[in-house]
Structures are given as C-alpha cells and as structure tokens.
Amino acid sequence: MQFPDALANDDVSLDIHRGEIFALVGENGAGKSTLMNILYGMCTPTGGEVIVKGKRVQRFSPADAIAAGIGMVHQHFMLVPSFTVAQNIVLNDEPRRHGLFYDFRAANATVERLVAEYGLRVNAEDKVQDISVGLQQRVEILKTLHRGADVLILDEPTAVLTPQETDELFDVIRRIVREKQMTVIIITHKLYEVMAISDRVGVMRAGKLVGVCETKDVNERILASMMVGKEVLLDALERIDDHDATPAIEVRDLHVADNRGLPAVRGLSLKVERGEILGIAGIEGNGQSELIEAITGMRPVDSGKVFIQGQDVTGKNPRQIRAAGLAHVPEDRLSTGVSAQASITENLLVGKEKDARFSIGKFHMKKQAVHAYAQEVFDRFDIRAASVDKAVGSLSGGNMQKVVVAREFSFDTPVLIISQPTRGVDIGAMDFIHKQIMDKRNQSCAILLVSADLDELYRLSDRMVTVYEGQITGEFIPSQIEKTELSYYMTGGRKEDANEKR
C-alpha cells in the first residue's frame, strides 16, 4: 500500500484461517492498521489482491466489507455520543413500526438479545456520552456483530480496558470463536495478551511482514525482538530517592459529580510530593476520570479544595491552573489531547503560541523558530511520521500519544497529571515514555499517574492508592503488595477491614 509520502505495506502476503484468533503486532507505524483497513475496505490497495472466503475483492469500501461478513472495531470509536446504546447498535438498520416510526422497544430488545447471545453486558437505554470507554467499546463490538460479522477485527481492543474488563473480553472472544467458528483478528502492542489469547501471531516491521508464528512456539521476548529488529529489555528505571516532602499537589475532601449529576468522587483526599510519583489504581468508572478533570479545571468541583504548588486552584479554568505550574496528559488523546485536523507542529505548539521565541507581539508567528522547535521535539520523542507538517489525525494511535506526551512534557512544569500514558503504544515507545516520566520525577516533578495497566503502575509509582466508587480504599508501597491483593482493594475492599481480619 503506497501513500504519497510513505510505503505503509510492502509486499505483504498473509493467510488468516476461519475459526482462529490471529494477533497482528508491530511498532507504531509498522503498517498493522493500514493492512486491516484494506481488509475492511477503508483503503484501496495500490498493488496485490485481497481474497475473502475464496472470492477476490473487486471493490473496497466498508459497506462491501460488511456485506462480506467483515467487521472492524477501531481504536478510536465511531459512535454518536448523544444517542443511546441501542440507537448506536441499530444505526442504519433501525426497526420501524408500520414502516414509519422508529421502534424504541424493538431496538432495546435487539440489544438485549445480543447481550444474552454474546455476554457483553450493556444497558440499551444509556446514552453513550454517559458510559465509560470500556462500555463504549462493547457497544462498538455489538454493533459490528449485529451487522452479521463473522470476521471481527479489533484494533487495540484492550487499550481502554482494565485487567478485569480485558479478561471478560477475552472470555467472550474465546467463546464466539469456539461456538460460532468466527475469525477474530487482534491488532495489539501487549505481548502478554498475544500469548494469552491468540492461536497465531504475525509480526510487522516498517511495513513488512517479518514472520508468522504459532503462538505456542514463541514468547514475549522473541516477539519483541522481531518487532524492533533487536533484543528489547525493559531495564530497571533509574530512581533518585532525594525528593522534597513539600506537597505540590493536594486534594482535600473533594466531591465531584459525573455527567449524569451522580456522585463520582466522594470525599477524596490525597497529596503528591515533589519528586515522587503517586499512582492511582482502580477499575475504570470509579471516579478516576472525574478526579483528574476536577484537578485540571475540566470539571466543576461540588465541594472540597485543590491546591497546586500551594495555590488554591479550586474552580479555576484549565488555563489558570496551567499557569499555576501544571501540565496534563489526558486519558482520551483524540477528544481532549490533540486536534486531529491540525499538523504535528500546530499541536506541539499549543500553549506556547504567545511565547516571545515563537511570536512577535503575540500575533505574528516566527515560522523558522516554530519549525525548528517542532522538529527538535519531533526527533527527541521519536514521533514516526513523514514530517512535522503531517496532520495528527493521519498518525497511528501510538504516535498520536507521543505528540501529546511530547507537548506536555516540554512545558517543564513542576507538576504533571498523567492519565493512561502508554495506551495503544508499542513496547519500545512505552519504555521510552516510562524513562521520560522517571526523568521528570528525578528532576523533582510531582506526578499523579492514572493507569489501567498495573504493570505500568508498579514500574513507575513510588506510592499507590486504590480507588473504588470515588473513595480511596488503601495506600501502598508497590514493592510491598502483590497484584492479586491489590485487586481486593480495587473492587471495594478497604485496608482497615483487611487489617481487622488479620
């Protein structure tokens, strides 16, 4: 597949079998999503051919792919936020009463039938804008299954899921493959999940398919080496234990509501000191998002206080809170992290447009200085794209994430709020981002880290707190608690209760 400025797929030949779970792995920009976008009809190949169920594909469009039984759930969901779950699932196939009126009851019944058949629990009447990202993914999968797909492509399906949700999804995948002889193709970066779920795995690097293996014949280290062309080891991070005990982030008895007006954060208090990383562990939907949005000024505070660098920022807007010394990597890069239509340069410059080094009189941009700065950050954070002029929306999810991390880390603020820093990022980029986070910590930055990846929290955090239903259920030193025990507190167990049982 040749694009004007890049060869995304270079002479790739691949067979995928009926009734198997096939994993496709590779670094960001390796060509995985492009290859699957061709299969789903979103791209027309510039060479070669595609054969589905013994028939050569003549026309490439999602409608033709759906008609052939191919469905794809993209990394960034394609749902209508103001519609209900049922309305999204039956979109373009709406049931009608008397051939005229939308039949809400029949739509809801369709969803209930799909939930019973596939085990992906959702509430048909919930609005999509009010449900968690993990539930939105279920809606996307059910929508695809409702259209009759028997080949299901999942692009980074666990990037938005907690470990418990991942286990539930994998159980569903195994069951539908076994009982319905469906084919499931998973595009992923998480090699331990490849080992857990797939029958075979294909590895891509720089647009080429470098190998297809039986999963039972390889391990994570072999796959990582195939992905990057050399051995990859996640070395221990250098941790300088010389932090200032002064709190740089302080939250006192915070109460915050969710989009429906229901309590999401309930009397939560925490402190993050300079030169430490406090990790927040919890199943998605337990107030983590609302907490971060309240601290960063993106959501109103019902009661309580937020302090940044000793300054009361409660109720201030995001610009004012940034001015107090905070940078923020948001959890949803597409909706709040980047402008997809804008170039990499424009996204990297957000928040710095009026700096004297980039503008004259805060109105006229110094194009050379702007380009030089963007190129320097682009190179330092190893963003994979043809140039800094490319639209961010054309990048892979992992490279989009690098743009957000690069911009926010470049502010050199004393406080960092980071949500899901390596969601959808390959192992090499993940190690790079982790080292950047640790460098910030070692430079006395106070970091509040939210991640659904427990391995990430354990690797980076100096302290961890668990949250459940908007409240802290325990505080821990990572080296002193096992993940299985931590899950007890993530699901509502409290430290004081556990201590009493002992």
Nearest to 183 by CA among 198, 203, 168, 169: 198
The C-alpha atoms of residue 312 and residue 301 are separated, in whole angstroms, by 13
CA angle at residue 491 from 490 to 495, to 5 degrees?
A: 65
Cα–Cα distance measured from residue 237 to residue 361, given in angstroms and rounded to the nearest whole number: 43
So what's the pLDDT on residue 160? 67
Structure tokens at 155: 């692009």
Considering the four listed CATH numbers 1.10.357.10, 3.30.750.200, 3.40.50.620, 3.40.50.300, the one that applies to the domain covering 244-325+413-501 is 3.40.50.300
pLDDT at 398: 79
Domains 2-228 and 244-325+413-501 share a fold: yes
Looking at residue 450, its pLDDT comes to: 96
Residue 495 has a pLDDT of: 60
Eight-class DSSP state of 266: E
Q: In what order do the strands lie in the sheet with 263-274?
A: 263-274, 244-257, 303-308, 311-312
Does domain 2-228 match CATH 3.40.50.300? yes
Three-class DSSP category at 473 = strand
What does each C-alpha distance from 257 to 45, 81, 491 come to in angstroms?
48, 19, 20
- Beta strand residue intervals within 106-206, DSSP E: 151-155, 183-188, 200-205
Tokens found for residue 88: 């999204």
Domain residue limits, the chain: 2-228, 244-325+413-501
Give the pLDDT confidence score for residue 446 in this predicted structure: 96
pLDDT at residue 502 in the model:
46
Q: How far apart are CA 154 and CA 467, in angstroms?
A: 29
Instruction: Give average pLDDT by consecutive 10-residue segment, the chain, 502 residues.
Output: 72 93 87 90 89 90 92 87 94 83 91 92 92 86 92 85 79 91 90 92 91 94 83 74 86 94 95 96 88 96 97 95 95 87 95 86 83 94 90 86 93 95 79 92 96 90 95 95 86 66 47
pLDDT in tens, 13-30: 999 999 999 999 987 778
Distance from C-alpha of 173 to C-alpha of 168, rounded to nearest angstrom: 9
Residues 6+ apart with CB under 8 A from 282: 288, 466, 467, 468, 490
